[in-house]
């Protein structure tokens, strides 16, 4: 017992430090462009992007932020771009769940970097998948010109935003745009392609070309306010629908508009009265190992995530390297597919290593996913997977065929899917357990997450062999000390690229979260998904049996 307590204490210290580091990183991100640019922004009588969101959203209601770490550590040559220069939050406005997209003009005047475009498209994707109303708080100088070739012309670039505006309008998804600062060139189309547009006096402006460009192009002398300010577009051109005195007035009008929306559709997911887990949620910190290779019982984590700690396990004694079963999270019925990290012995006496997917586990998961689709139950994937089992025994047993069935089921699932990367997320295991490529409605990672094609030690050794062979091929003599130096450098670089923050910077994860926030993310995600009934039947197509 004493040994267990010591181990739990070590785990708790490690994980709490990781969560503390997460919060420190977030504090830095929340500063946006920094004190100097924030002061300059406020001197114009404007709120910051996060202040605008705080005023807009219902007080005391839950919220989750998408992509807070987007572009983290990227664009260093251009001074960085915290949160990709745009803040995206799912929350409640006048008691209606919606997604808010607010340009942060303290970051390069709200200019669009490549990751800004990707993050905006992710916000629109969430809105379209879930039929969520979307509110744009516009304050942007347009495309960041030094990187225009990476943001302007391609399918997943800037222009896709306006295409999505049109598609969402045809789908009946409410779009409200508030012009609270600059809105220039191609960016001017976003608010006007929304259902309703508001503009703030003196600070808001919309034009295809500003006064300097107009002067250069056609020789006309005109100031920006007369060219495309609030009075011009609200009283002369008719481009905007509401003229607002200031930011506060604008946000108040948006709340009034949202208050009148009709009720959303209902996808029919089961929800009962929410209940907290019986087991203490904070014990997650002591259960999750301080090293990724150490085994643990995933059932212990599940007991601290689900209502009443009640988990009805499906095929408990079969395919034990994956756990499947039914539970409730914040009252919502869910089907859980989780990698079991505990080493287990099957009824046949065969050992199954933690985090590895075997043929029987893949078969079980496939059947369970099909059951959840038949019963209209959302799926939650808890990832801590090192991949599929390899070797002659697995190959002869058809591991590729069984793995393909599982991937097929995940791909064709019509109920909403939510993915939490608890620990490892390696190779094809990432795919089978509903990684980003498999359209989870939301995908988050804990600070303990690792996303990579393979584990760090294996990858580093493979890369070492390649580099040493290349050096020897050039006639260099490689000593043991030089080999260790090369291996250390490779490990450090590989470790950095597998961290959850690296993944979140590139939006492979929607967020890095404290494990104690997991229930909120899943609950709000299912609530969003409940507004969008499935439009097709579950069908797995052709399978190798």
pLDDT, tens digit, 9 for 90 and up, residues 307-329: 999 999 999 999 999 999 999 99
Q: Three-state secondary structure along 397-453?
A: CCHHHHHHHHHHHHHHCCCCEEEEEEEEEEHHHHHHCCCHHHCCCEEEECCCCEEEC
Q: Tell me the DSSP string of 169-202.
A: HHHT--EEEEEEEEEEGGGGHHHHTSSEEEEETT
341, 355 in Cβ contact below 8 A?
Answer: yes
Overall average pLDDT of the 450-456 stretch: 74
Q: How many CA atoms lie within 13 A of 297 on its CB side?
A: 7
Lowest model confidence (mean pLDDT) among 83-87, 147-151, 335-339, 469-473: 469-473
Q: Three-state secondary structure along 453-491?
A: CCCHHHHHHHHHHHHHHHHHHCCCCCCHHHHHHHHHHHH
State yes or no: pLDDT of 284 exceeds 60.
yes
CA triplet 145, 151, 156: central angle to 5 degrees?
170
Residue whose pair of structure tokens reads 């202040």 in the numeric block: 51
Alpha-helical segments (H) within 193-288: 211-218, 224-228, 230-231, 247-258, 284-287
Q: What kind and span of H or E run contains 103? A: strand 96-103
What is the per-residue pLDDT for 350? 65
d(CA 234, CA 213): 23
What is the per-residue pLDDT for 493? 73
pLDDT, tens digit, 9 for 90 and up, residues 213-268: 777 888 888 888 888 888 999 999 999 999 999 999 999 999 999 999 999 999 99
CA atoms 148, 151, 153, 154: torsion sign: positive
Listed ranges 367-376, 425-434, 496-505; the one with the highest mean pLDDT? 367-376
What is the per-residue pLDDT for 211? 73
Overall average pLDDT of the 515-537 stretch: 96
What is the per-residue pLDDT for 470? 77
pTM of the model: 0.92
Mean pLDDT of the chain: 90
For residue 46, how far is the Cα from the chain centroid? 29
What is the per-residue pLDDT for 455? 62
What is the per-residue pLDDT for 544? 66
SS3 content of the chain, % helix, strand, coil (to 5): 45, 20, 35
Which of 489, 387, 504 has its CA nearest to residue 449?
504
Q: Tell me the DSSP string of 335-366.
A: EEEEE--S-EE-TTS-EE-TTEEPHHHHHHHH
pLDDT, tens digit, 9 for 90 and up, residues 11-58: 999 999 999 999 999 999 999 999 999 999 999 999 999 999 999 999
State yes or no: pLDDT of 471 exceeds 80.
no
What is the per-residue pLDDT for 462? 63
pLDDT, tens digit, 9 for 90 and up, residues 367-418: 999 999 999 999 999 999 988 876 667 664 667 788 899 999 999 999 999 9
Which of 49, 50, 58, 66 has its CA nearest to residue 96?
58
Select the more confidently predicted residue: 344 or 17: 17
% of residues, the chain, pLDDT over 90:
70
d(CA 62, CA 452): 32
What is the per-residue pLDDT for 427? 86
Rg (CA), the chain: 25
What is the per-residue pLDDT for 473? 76
Which of 110, 124, 135, 120 has its CA nearest to residue 48?
110
d(CA 501, CA 524): 23
- C-alpha distances (whole Å) from 505 to each of 70, 115, 422, 478, 518 are 4, 9, 18, 36, 20
Give the pLDDT band of residue 2 (cuts 50, 70, 90). very low
Overall average pLDDT of the 183-201 stretch: 86
pLDDT, tens digit, 9 for 90 and up, residues 94-127: 999 999 999 999 999 999 999 999 999 999 999 9
d(CA 409, CA 538): 9
Overall average pLDDT of the 53-71 stretch: 98
- C-alpha distances (whole Å) from 262 to each of 159, 259, 291 are 30, 9, 50
């Amino acid at each position: 017992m004493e040994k267990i307590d010591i181990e739990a204490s070590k785990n708790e210290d490690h994980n709490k430090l990781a969560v503390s580091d997460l919060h420190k990183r977030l504090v830095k991100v929340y500063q946006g462009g920094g004190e100097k640019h924030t002061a300059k922004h406020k001197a114009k009588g404007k709120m910051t992007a996060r202040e605008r969101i705080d005023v807009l959203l219902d007080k005391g209601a839950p919220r989750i932020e998408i992509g807070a770490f987007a572009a983290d550590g990227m664009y260093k040559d251009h001074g960085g771009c915290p949160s990709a220069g745009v803040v995206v939050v799912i929350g409640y406005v006048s008691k209606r769940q919606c997604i808010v997209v607010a340009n942060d003009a303290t970051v390069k005047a709200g200019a669009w970097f490549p990751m800004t475009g990707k993050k905006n498209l992710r916000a629109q994707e969430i809105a379209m998948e879930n039929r969520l109303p979307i509110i744009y708080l516009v304050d942007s100088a347009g495309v960041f010109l030094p990187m225009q070739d990476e943001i302007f012309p391609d399918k997943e670039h800037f222009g896709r935003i306006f295409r999505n505006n049109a598609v969402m309008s045809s789908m009946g998804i409410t779009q409200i745009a508030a012009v609270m600062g600059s809105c220039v060139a191609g960016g001017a189309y976003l608010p006007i392609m929304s259902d309703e547009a508001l503009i703030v006096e003196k600070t808001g402006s919309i034009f295809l070309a500003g006064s300097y460009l107009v002067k250069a192009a056609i020789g006309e002398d005109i100031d920006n306010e007369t060219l495309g300010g609030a009075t011009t577009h609200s009283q002369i051109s008719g481009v905007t629908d509401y003229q607002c005195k200031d930011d506060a007035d604008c946000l108040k009008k948006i709340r009034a508009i949202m208050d009148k929306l009709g009720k959303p559709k209902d996808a029919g997911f089961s929800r009962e009265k929410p209940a907290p887990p019986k087991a203490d949620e904070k014990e997650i910190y002591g259960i999750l190992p301080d090293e990724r290779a150490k085994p643990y019982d995933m059932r212990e984590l599940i007991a601290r995530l689900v209502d009443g700690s009640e988990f009805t396990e499906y095929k408990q004694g079969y395919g034990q390297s994956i756990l499947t079963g039914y539970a409730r999270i914040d009252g919502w019925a869910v089907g859980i597919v989780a990698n079991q990290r505990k080493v287990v012995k099957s009824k046949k006496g065969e050992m199954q290593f933690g985090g590895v997917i075997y043929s029987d586990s893949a078969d079980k998961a496939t059947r369970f996913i099909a059951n959840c689709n038949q019963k209209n139950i959302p799926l939650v994937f808890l990832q801590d997977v090192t991949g599929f089992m390899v070797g002659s025994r697995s190959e002869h047993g058809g591991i590729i065929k069984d793995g393909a069935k599982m991937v097929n089921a995940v791909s064709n699932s019509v109920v909403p899917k939510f993915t939490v990367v608890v620990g490892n997320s390696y190779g094809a295991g990432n795919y089978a357990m509903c990684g980003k490529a498999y359209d989870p409605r939301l995908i988050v990672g804990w600070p303990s997450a690792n996303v990579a094609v393979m584990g760090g030690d294996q990858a580093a050794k493979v890369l070492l062999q390649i580099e040493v062979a290349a050096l020897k091929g050039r006639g260099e003599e490689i000593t043991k000390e030089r080999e260790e130096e090369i291996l250390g450098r490779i490990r450090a670089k590989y470790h950095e690229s597998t961290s959850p923050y690296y993944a979140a910077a590139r939006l492979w994860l929607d967020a890095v979260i404290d494990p104690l926030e997991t229930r909120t993310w899943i609950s709000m995600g299912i609530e969003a998904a409940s507004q969008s009934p499935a439009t097709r039947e579950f069908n797995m197509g052709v399978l190798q049996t």
